[in-house]
Structure 1
């Protein structure tokens, strides 16, 4: 029995799964919690609306820049060590961002994005390697964890900042508990032997991925999902404020959106696991997201309904997109290569979404054009999902 097999006993697997779930808790909350406090941050730092847009886009730019090299880092140092390093970078970024200088706010946010990018890319490959028969259920589990934690972070952000003697700096600093907990839980995995050469993508794997139509369909589905999701996450408080909702209510509804993204992890994981063909699921969640955007645009008085529906649809689409990365790959190396491709291109698209939505608002004086464009994007998601969901591998 190899060292890896000894460590991956039932008790060792439990510790590994705990570590994966705690890593998942750091994948969104450290940067999505910023959106409800943008007004407060602008009021104390004096940054412009354009600079605030850059702040919300920085993590996505970091995702796009770092994703292509994450698999190479894992090949050289091993997945376990790279994930530990990613958590250290996230923790350092949160600490830097929470200090007073405005430059530190941007530098820390960029570092957070870089750390999250590495974890985003490597987790699908880790699941494919160590849990090949449980990919869908574990992807669902870490989606639930990510959604629940970001819901709490978004909902609690403003109340924490408004406590006596507190500020937005301290509210953002509170998210430091997430990577610290994950570092403690993940530390035992550093004892694993380095098998980077077999677990990360080779140049041959990467070349085959970039020439695959199926890989481009998975990438397009995940990329458009990211664009739509981050436009709404970044601008929802502003959309609700324009519709007449108070800031505190907008923050709570922002938290509701994050909470709703966790629900598909409970329901969809089992469905994905039982079906080899996920085309109907992909089309269904894309159309659900489209309906929610149209409702938010035309009937903002029912924002609670539309936000809950959007969170469910977009959360399910994210879960499917992440599952496609593992399910459509033949082995862990290929999953790492596909993950790097999908997240590099997907987050490059997503980074352009929030600034373009802001420009559309400034040009028209309302959010109708941005919401309509996102609705159209979900229809294209449905088309790509009908191809990416086919029961085949690259």
Structure 2
């Protein structure tokens, strides 16, 4: 049986202020690495394809691999945490990520795909472990800590998207240098996280109870959180993978297209910081959720109907809406659960199933474009999916709790 929140609070409070500060710094550095490796790739898909002889299908697969990893490997994080502990599991994530980011730039197409799989696996596990870590060690500051680490994720993703093409143009290693650069933050994060291997020895594990996934599979609330997570992720990874290509097809040069992709994450920074705190101040998040989906829908419709007329407007609307929906999904995983064990289990379940749903985004947009020869049908796909996203989201935002 999982320890309750009160026990968790006492356990977390037993740490010294310095250890808590070090733990918080480690969480933020982990967050640095959970999107940059992905956001840095899409602006460089064209030069990568030209250098390695990858056609549209190969580039579509490359863009889809991380999301497949998120779906397939989310449960692995629970098994790994159960076997070696939460702190050691997170260190494994960082080491695997650094290795994958280096491998993907040190060889040909096979190395690129292998390294992308390794990096995707590491990020999948990190995505699952972080909400449980926050619920365990910062139970009274869930909104603040979630807002901080999602803001860091958003900020660094923005930087990665903006600098990919300029760095590739400035270095003799071209796209390899631009992608290999992101192994450095993973190595730094591992160094800062290392003390947690000792400091975490006295912390409770909060491993989910046996049969947790079966219990969640029978919960309509768990499915609502899961599908909202999956459908909002579908939109995010679709834009992350294909927005530069969509803009380039309408006359915007690759450097500017990368900057505009960066803008979608840049404008999301204040939204990512504020949204979890707004969500935790109320028992019911339905009005907040509906407002955010309305914002992102305006951006999708504009990108579909008039992409060249006001691209900056559509980019800003998409960025604000998506940038707030992701931290809201993470916050709902915590708010809708009774303790750390349930939070980690729901995190794994919702990301396993949700990211399986989101695979239809990067893959679907690529296939629809290949078959139609135009981008507007691909974006129409995103517009249509806003209806079920709203339905599941409203169900997830109602004030109910999952307990084992």
TM-score in terms of structure 1 length: 0.96
* Contact 1:221/1:384 (<8 A) preserved: yes
Question: 2: distance between equivalents of 1:242 and 1:85?
Answer: 40
1:100 matched to which residue of 2?
A: 107
Residue 75 of structure 1: CA displacement? 1.6
1:231 matched to which residue of 2?
A: 238
Q: CA, structure 1 residues 191+104, in 2 after alignment: closer, same or farther (shift >3 Å)?
A: same
Structure 2 unpaired stretches of 5+: 1-6
Residue 196 of structure 1: CA displacement? 8.8
1:21 matched to which residue of 2?
A: 28
* Contact 2:43/2:244 (<8 A) preserved: yes
Q: Does 1:315 align with 2:313?
A: no
- The farther-off stretch of 185-194 and 301-310 is 185-194
Aligned-CA RMSD value: 1.8
1:248 matched to which residue of 2?
A: 255
Out of 89, 95, 98, the residue aligned to residue 91 of structure 1 is 98
Q: Does 1:332 align with 2:368?
A: no
SS at match of 2:394: helix
Question: 1: distance between equivalents of 2:162 and 2:12?
Answer: 42
**Where do residues 299-310 of structure 1 align in structure 2 (5 Å cutoff)?**
299-300=306-307, 301-310=309-318
Residue 261 of structure 1: CA displacement? 2.7
* Contact 1:239/1:367 (<8 A) preserved: yes
* Contact 2:143/2:331 (<8 A) preserved: yes
Question: 1: distance between equivalents of 2:326 and 2:198?
Answer: 32
* Contact 2:232/2:389 (<8 A) preserved: yes
1:151 matched to which residue of 2?
A: 158
Q: Does 1:37 align with 2:44?
A: yes
* Contact 1:94/1:109 (<8 A) preserved: yes
Q: Does 1:356 align with 2:364?
A: yes
- The farther-off stretch of 186-195 and 114-123 is 186-195
Residue 204 of structure 1: CA displacement? 3.3
Out of 29, 47, 59, the residue aligned to residue 54 of structure 2 is 47
* Contact 2:227/2:392 (<8 A) preserved: yes
Q: How many residues align?
A: 394
Structure 1 unpaired stretches of 5+: none
> How big is each residue's C-alpha offset from its partner over 1:68-93, in whole Å with a ceiling of 9 and x where there is no partner?
12112112211111001000000000
* Contact 2:19/2:199 (<8 A) preserved: no
TM-score in terms of structure 2 length: 0.94
2:355 matched to which residue of 1?
A: 347
> How big is each residue's C-alpha offset from its partner over 1:225-280, in whole Å with a ceiling of 9 and x where there is no partner?
01111111111011101111111110110111122232212221321121121111
* Contact 1:219/1:345 (<8 A) preserved: yes
**Where do residues 1-394 of structure 1 align in structure 2 (5 Å cutoff)?**
8-194=15-201, 198-300=205-307, 301-394=309-402
